[in-house]
Structure 1
Amino acid sequence: MAEFLDLEAQDAVRMSWNVVPGTKQDSSHCGVVPIAAVYTPLKPFPSMPVLPYAALRCRNCRSVLNPFSVVDFVAKLWICPFCLQRNHFPTHYHSISDQNLPAELFPQYTTIEYESPSEKSTVPPVFFLVVDTCLIEEELGFLRSAVSQAVGLVPENSLVGLITFGTYVYVHELGFGQIPKVYVFRGSKEVTKDQVIEQMGFFAKRPKPASGVIAGVRDGLSQETIARFLLPASECEFAINSILEELQKDPWPVPPDQRATRCTGMALSVAAHLLGTCVPGSGARIIGFVGGPTTDGPGAIVSKNLSEPVRSHKDLDKDSAPYFHKAVKFYEGLAKQLVHQGHVLDIFACALDQVGVAEIKVAVERTGGLVVLSESFGHSVFKDSLKRVFQSGDYDLDLSSNGIFEVNCSKDIRVQGIIGPCASLEKKGPLCSETVVGQGSTSAWKMCGLDKATSLCLVFEIVKKEIPEAIGQSANNQFYFQFLTYYQHHSGQMRLRVTTLSRRWVAGPGSIQDLIAGFDQEAAAAVMARLVSFKMETEAEFDPIRWLDKSLIHLCTRFGDYQKDSPSSFSLSPRFSIFPQFMFHLRRSQFVQVFNNSPDETAYFRMILNRENVANSVVMIQPSLISYSFHSSPEPALLDVAAIAADRILLLDSYFTIVVFHGSTIAQWRKAGYHNQPEHVVFAQFLQAPQDDANAIIKERFPVPRLVICDQHGSQARFLLAKLNPSATYNSDVPAPEREILFTDDVSFEVFLDHLQRLAVQ
């Protein structure tokens, strides 16, 4: 796959098919794996130039000048590869010649960035903290110290605001330092933006402007009024720390047979209204810290009676979760409001019970927010992830804001939609397909929040009907794609990043070998995972296992080598050989098997999958396993129960969890304390090596994964065993007492492959 990794290193794009079927009929033969691109708009490129002038656009289709444009140096013209429009160069390009090219025409700069010096945001980044107080004393203590530390890490010029909530919503006025001053809203009743403006006295001193007001400084809201609630971090750190030190558990009594009254939806709604009034259109983030289920007001997920359980997957399937649809509708409205204002919602949910992430998912995903799920505010998953949001250095997230993503492509291609963290801008046009996948029926999307790892999955369809007679040298058999990302850099500057790709298309009977050569099985697996998750959420009666199996059989029948009805003759090209293995692990993954997870956990896993690049998505689908032994250096091991041995240490990376697993002999030696004895220094180094590798992974990943250190036959070993291929189970014919066996009725990969070959050759 080296050449696909090279393409990603140049343009941050991985495509499932790098040679594209040229006709509708050929693309339907490609099975269910769609023509899709996984694109990371802000991936850092050290060698990419940033040009200090505006981009030159085609006057017909608005695409940007790129290395695939045909240039006539004599007539000072360029021809757009997308619509073939002839465009004149403006006067400042007049010295252009084949020896004197501007950077955007260099063949190696297919990805380039423009920065217009005149456009800079005047509002610094805004962080609005929304803190849950319906917690036990110990959890509240953990949360207070984490938030206090975060406020210390926020860049000094950023504006910070604070809301605490429980039964009521408390908006803290930070700009009035003499005595603490708070505005209170009832948690059970929805309020409108106008009521918030009214109650907080925004236009008390001067008349409110005429209707249609967005607010903000432009609409006559004074800077002093905004500074009552949003202050630079350097000025309000003391005030916030004083509030946090005094912060008590929600004072309203909770009967023993009831849950606490918690109005999360209302608190997030007030925060959104407040930001929409003070700083519309700026890079602002609402960071919600939630410690339990919402039981009151809009967005409630369960009643206060403890006798009523929080909804499970079974309840959602049977449509017997009474609060679910109403809560989702509320958060869809909130998402729409935040997207309109250009603001982001981040959620840090830390509780043993569910808090309602499944309902909030729509608002977080459409605004491009971050999400972290953990069981306690004292857990390293929460504390270290929160630090990563604000820290600067090698591993910072490079949070950018206010992005608009647009796509342009050749006329025979349509865009079905995007699965990922964005919201449709409903820009309809000839590029939009009739079939909608994810956020579709548009060629432009809003990305309120994006960082250097945010990845979008674009799904395309081919609409060309006829097969050309012969593709001569003169015919152009290239498809072009252009991705434009207009965003606010964390320096405040507005930038435009342009990536232009060209992919060859093939058609007709002899094209199958070309298609095989261009198939990227890792990218295809990542696309299929997003697609199956999306279908499970949106299609009633959808059977994911059956759909994945049918897709795989179709693909193997089309691209495998075999004689009809002879399974032993079946073989796949190396380009396809790992794909069945990915599908086997995807069927068993947490994205498809929801039985053992709560709706919150499933929503969390899918939100992370939908924003990660191909390499990370593949680790979520098929975890990586590294084996450490005394006799050899660390080496990758098969994800199989056979990898377990008494004298080995295994390191499993399943993205959300990292497991260091000690074989039984190693565990006995460790418990005997051999690693502390000077003559066994080699053993001490051997124990330390997987820990160091695990820490290196943890350092650069967001959200920070959970680290599990366990021993063979220990209770925590389940984190590893659940991910392994069950090649030896309690009922298989493996009479080897020293081999580990799994107690499962799942089929092994070998059996899965046998069935696949039998069905593919029929």
Structure 2
Amino acid sequence: MAEFVELEAQDGVRMPWNVIPGTKQEASNCVIPISAIYTPIKPFQNMPVLPYSALRCRTCRSVLNPFSIVDFAAKIWICPFCFHRNHFPPNYSSISDDNLPAELFPQYTTIEYDQTPSSHVPPCPPVFMFVVDTCMIEEEMAFLKSSLSQAVDLLPDNSLVGLITFGTFVHVHELGFGQIPRTYVFKGSKDVSKDQLLDQMSFFTKKPKPATGVIAGARDGLSTESISRFLLPKSECEFALNSVLEELQKDPWPVPADLRATRCTSTALSIAASLLGACVPGSGARIMAFIGGPSTEGPGSIVSKILSEPIRSHKDLDKDSAPLYHKAMKFYEGLSKQLVHQGHVLDLFACALDQVGVAELKIAVERTGGLVVLAESFGHSVFKDSLKRVLHAGDCDLGLSSNGIFEINCSKDIKVQGVIGPCASLEKKGPLCSDTVVGQGSTTAWKMCGLDKATSLCLIFEIVNKESPDATIQSTSNQFYFQFLTYYQHYSGQMRLRVTTLSRRWVAGPGSIQDLTAGFDQEAAAVVMARLVSFKMETEAEFDPIRWLDKSLIHLCSRLGDYQKDSPSTFSLSPRLSIFPQFMFHLRRSQFVQVFNNSPDETAYFRMILNRENVSNSVVMIQPSLISYSFHSGPEPALLDVATIAADRILLLDSYFTIVIFHGATIAQWRKAGYHDQPEHQAFAQLLQAPRDEADAIAKERFPVPRLVICDQHGSQARFLLAKLNPSATYNSDAPLPGGDVIFTDDVSFEVFLDHLQRLAVQ
């Protein structure tokens, strides 16, 4: 798959079909939709940033690109999307064959423009509103307070900071009043509108309320001094903020033994959103919510206060017996619309042994492009290290950018069904919108309130032509074009426009199978299928994911495989497709499809991360990587199979969310005997250290930071490895290899799965 990785390194795009079926019928026969996984602001080594505005087509608004046809004599360019002829403006008058502007260089299919207007008021600095839960035990409070004070240290000096704490009541802290701590208190069970909020927080004491119009920000009639009571530059409020955090106590209201704490998460988030909407609309503001338990008060509560009533499970959601679920979903959908309209981001840090409501909050976090971290405790390294990664501007910072708008333009035989990923529809309808909607659809423009270097969108297209596309213009006859435009505020404060233009060949008719197979990217295909199946499981009632995945795989193999009819032994797949069945086997067993043993919160969390990561990271979530360390050889990739376990090996499993270091029985005995501390067993000490170093290197690059599990063969934590392995040896098969292991499961092994696939594909 090296050439697909090279294409990604040039444009940040991976497509399952790099040669595209040219007609509607052929595309539907291909099973996997025509789609692309695109990382809008992926950093590139040698991409130029041009200091002028982009030149756009008069008709379809697409940007001048290397695929445009240029007539140097007449100073005209023809748009490859709508074939319209455009004149070059005077500042391009000196162009010729030997004097090209950068956007026409064939290698610059991805390019950036600095769109910051010259009359530009300096951009609003980044805004961080901390929303902190106080209904937790003292120990958790201590962990959280220490992480928050570290976080405040890491914030840029010019960034504006605000603080809201909540439990039974919501406390908005006035940081601009340094003499004594001052807070405004709101009742957790009451809905507070934006106008009520401004009135009660005495925004209009010095300056009367404007009679008409929206009240938002300094431009629209709020005095800057009233804004700076709640949002202050870090350099000015660091002392006040740290003293409030030091004094922070757990929620003082008593909780009877048979009840849950009164926690009004939704009211606190609603107040935070309204306050930011009034003070800094349209700026890159982030609400960072730190939540330590389930919401029990207000419109977004997920469970009643009575402890004997359990929190909703997947079964309850399937049977529609979670009474509060729909009300909470409706509330967070409304909150997501408000945040998208304001251009603000909701980040969620959920740390509790029980659920906190990630499944309900998902819509508000995902539509605003927020980050999400789920851990068992605020003292856990998963939370602490991930929070540092968000705010730390070092070599592996996330590159948090804001206020993005993403647009698509494509050839006229292609329509857009939608996007699955962290964005919200801007409802810009047009001839390019398909009637079939997948994800955020019926639009060609999306809002991305928050985006970072790794944020990736999955774009789903549809071929609309019934017959082969007409070869009207010979030179562009068998090419389809796509253009992705991302307008966003770079973390340096500049407004940038990133333009990526792609060209892909289409084929139709007999003999096109070889071409389609040659352009098939099986990793990208597996990731698109994973996002699609997760989306369908959430939106379609009575959807059977296993059956859908199996049918899709059988159709694909019978269309692209080599075989004689009804003879399974003759079946073979080209190397381009050979790993795809393996990906599907692991996807069927993954946490995206198998919800048994996971809470709705965990499932929502896994899917949110899958929906924002690039192809290589998503593949690790679907099919984990396994590396084997032993005395006989250096570290080498191993089969994800129970047969790989041996007593004298160490295995390192990376399943994205968890990294497992698994010591074989003999290695574990030697380690317990302390051999690695003896000078003559230096080699053993090195063997034990090597997987630790590799695990540290992986964790450094990744967000959220993965959980590290170190375990021994036959130990209780070995389940983290065994659950991911192909069960080729189970409790009812033949005896395993000496020193090996068996898995107690009734799941079929990959060999049986492949055997069934071959039998069904050749029918």
TM-score tier, shorter chain, comes to: over 0.9
Partner of 1:17: 17
Query: How many residues were matched structurally?
Result: 761
Q: Corresponding residue for 1:584?
A: 585
CA deviations over 1:449-478 (Å, ceiling 9, x no partner): 000000000000000111268899656100
Aligned AA for 1:391? Answer: H
Equivalent-residue separation in structure 1 for 2:751 and 2:207 (angstroms): 76
CA pair 121-439 structure 1, distance change in 2 beyond 3 A: farther
State whether structure 2 residue 262 is matched by structure 1 residue 271: no
1:189-338 pair list within 5 angstroms:
189-338=190-339
Q: C-alpha distance in 2, partners of 1:452/1:336?
A: 24
* Contact persistence 2:215–2:222 (CA under 8 A): no
Q: 2:629 touches 2:649 (CA, 8 Å); kept in 1?
A: yes
Report the Cα offset of residue 120 of structure 1: 5.9
Q: How does 1:334-373 map to 2 (within 5 A)?
A: 334-373=335-374
Q: Give the partner amino acid of 1:721.
A: L
Q: Which amino acid is 2:61 matched to?
A: R
The CA distance in 1 between the partners of 2:735 and 2:757, in whole Å, is: 24
> Partner of 1:146 in structure 2?
147
Q: 1:100 to 1:561 in 2, by over 3 A?
A: same
**Is 1:536 the counterpart of 2:537 in the alignment?**
yes
Where 1:632 maps in the other structure, the secondary structure is coil
Contact conserved, 1:189 with 1:297, CA < 8 A, in 2? yes
Residues 662-701 of structure 1 mapped to structure 2, 5 A cutoff? 662-701=663-702
Q: 1:24-62, CA deviations, whole angstroms, 9 ceiling, x for partnerless residues?
A: 11111102x111100000100010000001100001000
CA offsets 1:90-127 (integer angstroms, 9 cap, x no match): 11100000100000000000000000242465310000
DSSP 3-state at the match of 1:300: coil
Q: Offset at 1:682?
A: 1.1
Secondary structure at the residue paired with 2:620? helix
Partner of 1:59: 58
**Aligned AA (1:607):** M
Aligned to 2:43: 44
CA contact (8 A) 1:582 1:622 kept: yes
In the alignment, residue 101 of structure 1 is paired with which amino acid? L
**Maintained 8 Å contact 2:643/2:737:** no
Determine the C-alpha separation between the residues in 2 that align with 1:120 and 1:702. Answer: 34
Aligned residue in 2 for 1:547: 548
Note the C-alpha offset of 1:208.
1.5
**Quick one: which amino acid aligns to residue 90 of structure 2?**
T
Instruction: Point out where structure 2 has 5 or more consecutive residues left out of the alignment.
Output: none
Report the Cα distance in structure 2 between the residues aligned to 1:340 and 1:383, rounded to whole angstroms: 31
> Structure 1: any 5+ residue segments left out of the alignment?
none
Partner of 1:415: 416
How far apart are 1:210 and its partner, in Å? 3.0
**Equivalent AA in structure 2 for residue 361 of structure 1:** K
| Alignment partners' CA distance in 2, 1:685 and 1:422 | 46
Distance 2:129 2:212 in 1: 27
Range with greater deviation from structure 2 (14-23 or 214-223): 214-223
Partner of 1:105: 104
Does 2:751 align with 1:750? yes
Pair 1:28–1:148, CA change in 2 (3 A): same
Residue type of the partner of 2:78? I
Moved more, 724-733 or 117-126: 117-126
Whole-angstrom CA distance in 2 between matches of 1:63 and 1:735:
61
Q: CA deviation at 1:386?
A: 0.3
The letter for the 1-side match of 2:171 is Y
Deviations 1:209-247 (A, max 9, x none): 233314101112111111100001111111111001111
Change (3 A) 1:686 1:206: same
What letter is aligned with 1:84?
A: F
Q: 1:629 to 1:251 in 2, by over 3 A?
A: same
Q: Cα distance, 1:201 vs. partner?
A: 1.1
Q: State whether residues 729 and 736 of structure 2, in contact with CA within 8 Å, keep that contact through their aligned partners in structure 1.
A: no
How many angstroms apart in 1 are the aligned matches of 2:264 and 2:373?
Answer: 20
- What residue number does 1:186 align with? 187
Q: Is the 8 A contact 1:121 1:282 kept in 2?
A: no
- Higher mean C-alpha deviation, range 738-747 or range 380-389: 738-747
- Say what the alpha-carbon RMSD is for the aligned residues: 1.1
The match for 1:124 is 125
Q: Distance in 1 between matches of 2:624 and 2:524?
A: 15
Counterpart of 2:173 in structure 1 is: 172
Q: What do residues 333-381 of structure 1 show as CA deviations (whole Å, max 9, x unaligned)?
A: 0000000000000000000010000000000000000000000000000
Q: Is the 8 A contact 1:413 1:462 kept in 2?
A: yes
Secondary structure of 1:395's partner?
A: coil
Task: Confirm or deny: 8 A CA contact 2:404 2:486 kept in the other structure.
Answer: yes
Distance between the aligned counterparts of 2:115 and 2:94, measured in 1?
Answer: 22
Give the residue type in structure 1 aligned to 2:302. I
Q: Which residue is equivalent to 2:33?
A: 34
Amino acid at match of 2:626: L
What is the TM-score when the length of structure 2 is the normalising length? 0.99
What is the TM-score normalised by the length of structure 1?
A: 0.99
Structure 1 residues 599-626: Cα deviation after superposition (integer angstroms, max 9, x where no partner): 0000000000000000000000000000
Q: Which residue of structure 2 aligns with residue 655 of structure 1? A: 656
In structure 2, how many angstroms separate the alpha carbons of the residues matched to 1:111 and 1:120? Answer: 28
8 Å CA contact 2:77, 2:87 repeated in 1: yes
User: CA offsets, 1:65-93, max 9 Å, x none?
Assistant: 00000011000010000000101111110
Matched, 1:481 2:470: no
> 2: distance between equivalents of 1:602 and 1:512?
37
User: Equivalent residue for 2:508?
Assistant: 507
The answer as to whether partners of 2:471 and 2:477 remain within 8 angstroms in 1 is no
Q: For 1:632-658, what per-residue CA distance to the aligned partner results, in whole angstroms no more than 9, with x for missing partners? A: 111000000011001100000000000
Equivalent position of 2:5 in the other structure: 5
> Residues 214 and 447 from structure 1, CA distance in 2 versus in 1: closer, same or farther, beyond 3 angstroms?
farther
| Alignment match, 2:647 | 646
Q: Are 1:623 and 2:621 matched, yes or no?
A: no
